[in-house]
Amino acid sequence: MEIPQGSVSDLLIYALVDPDAEDPIDGVLLSIRTELLSLADGDGGARPLLRLLVRRLDVALLLLRRVDNRVPTPLEEDPDETPPSEILQGAGQG
């Protein structure tokens, strides 16, 4: 494998970013996620902690993708609106 020629930022991106990533931030987070999963699958007592860190990275990736409009953001529920489950329960009591 040959190291590409380029600026310092190009070299850092090459070293830190997952090659399948759509952008550098996504790539750094995906690389960290992959490394943590590899560590978590090994022997040792760090597994629960590493799995929590992976979950945090998953959420960070999702939020970044929502901000970039790469994945849709679900609509927020209105706290003043009656939940559908209560509407259905009330319909059977009439």
Burial class of 28 by CB neighbour count within 10 A (0 to 12, 13 to 18, 19+): middle
Question: Pick the residue with more confidence: 2 or 78?
Answer: 2
Task: Compute the average pLDDT of residues 52-58.
Answer: 79
pLDDT for residue 55: 81
Q: How confident is the model at residue 84 (pLDDT cuts 50, 70, 90)?
A: low
Spatial separation of the C-alpha atoms in residues 13 and 25, rounded to whole Å: 9
Query: Residue 65 corresponds to which amino acid?
Result: R
- The answer to whether the beta carbons of residues 90 and 65 sit under 8 Å apart is no
Q: How confident is the model at residue 78 (pLDDT cuts 50, 70, 90)?
A: low
